[in-house]
C-alpha cells in the first residue's frame, strides 16, 4: 500500500496538490481519511472531478478518525493523536491514552512532544506548532517565538509570510469553483443515468424508437 501525506496548510491548497500527485494516483484505488470526514467529502468530489475514470475508485473513512476511535476505543490501527478543531486540540484513544508514545516533536528542541501549549503559531504560515514544556519555561504563555516554524515551513525553507491576501483569496476561489464543477458533473451524470433508466422499458418491449 502506497501512502501519501498531503503537505498542505489549508483546504484551498488541494487543487494544486491533486495536480501534482495525479501521476501517482492514475490507475489506483484511493482511500482518504481525515479528522471527522467532512473534508474528505469535499476532497473526494474534487479528485473525481479532476481525474474521473483515471482512478479505479475513491473511498473514504466514514466519520473520519473521530468515529474510528469511538468504534475502536483501543485505537485499532491508529497511532498517535487525532487533531480536533475545537478546545480539545488533540484526542487520544479512550483506552491506553496514558501509555501513548509521542510521535511528533517540539519545534524548538526536537524532543518527542505531542501537546499543544499556549496557542503558539508558526511565524511563516500561522499554523499551530508544538512547543514542549521545557522550552516554554516556567510560564506557559511565555516562550521564544522568533524561531517558531512548523515542520512544513522548515522543509520548504520558509521564514516569512510570503503569501499575499490576494493569493489566498485566489486559491479559495479556485477551490470553490472546482467543487461546484464537481457537483454539477455529478448531478449531470445522475440525470443521464435516470434518463437511461427511464428509456429502458421502451427498448425492452421491442417497440420501434423512430
The predicted-structure confidence for 79-114, as pLDDT tens digits, reads as follows: 888 888 787 788 888 876 667 788 999 998 999 999
| Maximum separation of any 2 CA atoms in the chain, in Å | 87
Average pLDDT over residues 180-188: 76
Provide the residue count of the chain: 210
Is the pLDDT confidence value at 162 over 70? no
Let me know: does 35 contact 85? Beta carbons within 8 Å: yes
Residue 32: the pLDDT is 93
The DSSP bridge pattern shows strands 82-83 and 90-91 to be antiparallel
Q: Stretch 28-33: mean pLDDT, rounded?
A: 93
What pLDDT is attached to residue 131?
92
Write the CB contacts of 54 (distance below 8 Å, at least 6 apart in sequence): 22, 25, 26, 27
pTM assigned to the model? 0.66
Of the candidates 66, 6, 10, the one whose C-alpha atom is nearest the C-alpha of residue 35 is 66
Q: Higher-confidence residue: 182 or 163?
A: 182
Phi, psi of 200 (to 5 degrees): -60, -45
End-to-end CA distance of the chain: 52
User: Looking at residues 144-169, what average pLDDT do you find?
Assistant: 71
| Per-residue model confidence (pLDDT) at position 140 | 46
* Cβ neighbours, 10 Å, residue 44: 17
Positions marked catalytic? 34
* pLDDT given for residue 97 in this prediction: 63
Is the pLDDT reported for residue 165 higher than 70?
A: no
Q: How far is CA 43 from the centre of its chain?
A: 8
Residues 6+ apart with CB under 8 A from 183: 45
Range scoring the smallest mean pLDDT among 1-5, 57-61, 120-124, 189-193: 189-193
**Summary mean pLDDT of the chain:** 80
Q: In angstroms, rounded to a whole number, what is the distance separating the alpha carbons of residues 151 and 153?
A: 6
Residue range 121-147: mean pLDDT, rounded: 75
**pLDDT(163) > 70:** no
Amino acid at each position: 500500500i502506497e501512502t501519501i501525506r498531503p503537505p498542505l496548510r489549508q483546504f484551498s491548497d488541494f487543487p494544486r496538490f491533486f495536480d501534482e500527485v495525479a501521476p501517482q494516483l492514475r490507475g489506483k484505488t484511493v482511500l482518504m481519511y481525515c479528522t471527522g470526514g467532512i473534508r474528505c467529502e469535499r476532497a473526494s468530489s474534487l479528485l473525481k472531478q479532476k481525474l474521473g475514470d483515471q482512478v479505479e475508485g475513491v473511498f473514504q473513512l466514514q466519520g473520519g478518525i473521530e468515529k474510528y476511535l469511538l468504534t475502536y476505543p483501543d485505537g485499532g490501527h491508529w497511532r498517535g493523536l487525532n487533531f480536533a478543531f475545537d478546545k480539545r486540540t488533540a484526542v487520544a484513544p479512550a483506552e491506553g491514552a496514558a501509555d501513548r508514545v509521542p510521535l511528533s516533536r517540539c519545534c524548538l528542541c526536537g524532543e518527542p512532544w505531542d501537546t499543544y501549549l499556549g496557542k503558539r503559531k508558526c511565524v511563516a504560515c500561522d499554523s499551530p506548532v508544538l512547543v514542549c514544556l521545557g522550552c516554554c519555561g516556567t510560564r506557559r504563555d511565555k516562550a521564544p517565538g522568533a524561531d517558531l516554524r512548523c515542520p512544513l515551513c522548515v522543509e520548504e525553507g520558509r521564514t516569512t509570510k510570503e503569501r499575499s491576501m490576494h493569493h489566498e483569496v485566489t486559491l479559495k476561489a479556485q477551490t470553490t469553483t472546482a467543487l461546484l464543477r464537481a457537483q454539477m458533473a455529478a448531478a449531470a451524470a445522475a440525470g443521464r443515468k435516470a434518463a437511461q433508466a427511464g428509456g429502458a422499458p421502451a427498448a425492452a418491449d421491442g417497440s420501434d424508437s423512430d
